[in-house]
Every structure is written in C-alpha cells, then in structure tokens.
Amino acid sequence: MRQSSIWLLTIVVLTLSACSSTTKRVAVEQPPTYLPTPESTPVRLTAAAAPRLPEVRDAIKRIFKDAAVLDQNSNPNFLMGDFNGDASQDLAVVIKPVKLEEMNQDYPPWLVRAPRTRKVDRAPLKIEKDEALLAVIHGYGINDWRDPEATQTFVLKDVVGSDLKLHSGKEFVAANAGRKLPRTQGDLIGETVQGTPGFLYYAVSTYSWYDPKTFNGKPEAPGVFHKSRTMR
C-alpha cells in the first residue's frame, strides 16, 4: 500500500512538472506585443534655396533640350514660387526659342497658352522667331523644380514684361482691396506688360492674366492640363 502511494505521488509530481514546462514554453512563444511603425515619408524641414543661374539653365535644358535658351534681355529673367498652389516650389523663367520647328512640334511636352488673349480659337498657338516667352516649370517631390522628374511645364505667350515680382496670395488681396478678384491657387507674378500693370495667376488648371481695370469677375474656363506623375 505504501509503495502504491509512492508511485501515485511520483506520477502527480511528474504531471505537474510537465504542465509547468508547457506553460512556460507557451509563454515564451507568444508574439511580441510591440510592433515598430513604418518610417514616415521624409519631408523638407528647411526653406528651398534660391535659384542659381546654372540650375536654371539645367532646368531649361531638361525641358526644352536645345530648342530654347534663357533670355538675357530680361531682368530679372526668373522667379521661384508656388504658382499652382501644390506646396511645391515652381520656376518661372523667361526663354527665347532657338529651334522653331521643335518649339512648334505637333505634340510638345509642354502646354502653350496666351493668358492675355480672351479669344477662343481651336487653332494651336504658334511660337514666333525671337519671341520672349515665360516658361513655368512646376515642381515635383522634395526637390521641387530641380527634380529630374519635374517636367510639367506651361509656355506662356505675350506675358513677358518689366518689373517681374513674386506676390503671395495675401499680398495680392491687400494690394487690390475693394476690387473684384479671381480665385487664385498659389503665388502670383506681378509685372507691367505693354504699359499695363497686372498679375499672372494659376486657377482652374491654367494660367490667366488679372488686369485690375478690366477684370469682370467671371470664372475662367477650365482647360486641358498636364497630369501629375501620380495621376498618369
């Protein structure tokens, strides 16, 4: 009887020991409760550096190859700002055509517009010899207009004047208090063209001209525009 009790006690001890080991093993094999979060997209913490002439020339080369060059007769001949209101810095630069055939190709990689012309004409706009043009290169990514993939460009006719200046939306509203104003999307370019002071601005996917004396408050007609890389 005593020997049976000893065997029974031994079995109980071994069973409890096995259960304890299993419990410990299960506890060890549990997945960690902490999972590291993925890294966030890097953002630029410092202000974008002012454009340098070699960078401006490189941007023109990237877009137009050898078809256009920087216009040396304009001063200033380039400005940086967020003209289309997408929080990316753009470059507005005065250029002159060098190869008209390439500038007037049937399907150019840029959009030609005449913001000061209200006439609706389906005929494509043609660039003339020695014509001063304002090219606006929209920024892309954290490198803005300097990025190799920043190719979305508007070529604007009949808008190169004197005293080119960058204006924020707040400055524009303050300078034209009491007047009818368009709904702009970003920074504006103030200048005097053929004796008429006004502002170039971006709205409804194209660039338009604001003349304080003639603006009637009608909304701009939407136009065809370059899609961003993500939209393409």
**Structural domain spans, the chain:** 53-210
If one compares 8 and 29, the residue with the highest pLDDT of the two is: 8
If one compares 219 and 85, the residue with the highest pLDDT of the two is: 85
| Burial class of residue 87, CB neighbours in 10 A (0-12, 13-18, 19+) | exposed
User: Taking residues 184-207, what's their average pLDDT?
Assistant: 95
Place of tokens 């892309």: 140
Find the largest Cα–Cα distance for the chain: 122
The pLDDT of residue 48: 84
The pLDDT of residue 18: 55
Give the model confidence (pLDDT) of 51-62 as tens digits.
999 999 999 999
Say whether pLDDT at 73 is over 80: yes
Say whether pLDDT at 40 is over 70: no
Say whether pLDDT at 190 is over 90: yes
The pLDDT of residue 216: 84
Query: CA angle at residue 215 from 211 to 216, to 5 degrees?
Result: 175
The pLDDT of residue 119: 62
* Predicted structure pTM score: 0.75
User: Taking residues 148-157, what's their average pLDDT?
Assistant: 97
User: Taking residues 97-101, what's their average pLDDT?
Assistant: 97
How many Å apart are CA 232 and CA 226, to the nearest integer? 9
User: Taking residues 101-130, what's their average pLDDT?
Assistant: 89
User: Taking residues 78-102, what's their average pLDDT?
Assistant: 97
User: Taking residues 92-101, what's their average pLDDT?
Assistant: 98
Say whether pLDDT at 222 is over 90: no
b/e code 149-177 from CB counts within 10 Å (16+ = b): ebbbbbbbbbbbbeebebbebeebeeeee
User: Taking residues 149-167, what's their average pLDDT?
Assistant: 96
CA 175 to chain centre: 26
User: Taking residues 29-43, what's their average pLDDT?
Assistant: 44
Place of tokens 């993925």: 38
| Tokens describing residue 154 | 């508007």
Q: pLDDT band for 218, please (50, 70, 90 cuts).
A: low
User: Taking residues 160-187, what's their average pLDDT?
Assistant: 94
